[in-house]
Amino acid sequence: MVGSEYRWPGRFHERLHISARQCARLVRDRVSSIGLNTASYGTHSMRQTKVAHICRKTGNLRAVQLLLGRTKIDGTVRYLGFELEDALAITESMGA
């Protein structure tokens, strides 16, 4: 990809996209600017929350597993903070 194709292109030619550290800094600054506790919100917690919402909405644990790049479904369930039985119930209720 070239710099202009990245969602958040970097400012310098040698870096085509912003770094993970810069992304975390931007999130921290935004969270702080709206008066929230920066210790409670970060790039990792946002990632985890997003896939938890996807799982609850679709019931598709396999899709979440692929999005996270995980090799085992039980690791995906643990990452989401679900109990295995709850995750299976979500999946079954969605007809997946």
Distance separating alpha carbons of residues 73 and 90, to the nearest angstrom: 14
The pLDDT assigned to 91 comes to: 72
The pLDDT assigned to 13 comes to: 61
**Statement: residue 2 has pLDDT above 70:** no
Q: What is the pTM of this model?
A: 0.61
**Statement: residue 43 has pLDDT above 80:** yes
- Give tens-digit pLDDT for 51-91: 888 888 888 888 889 988 999 888 888 888 877 777 777 77
CA 11 to chain centre: 24
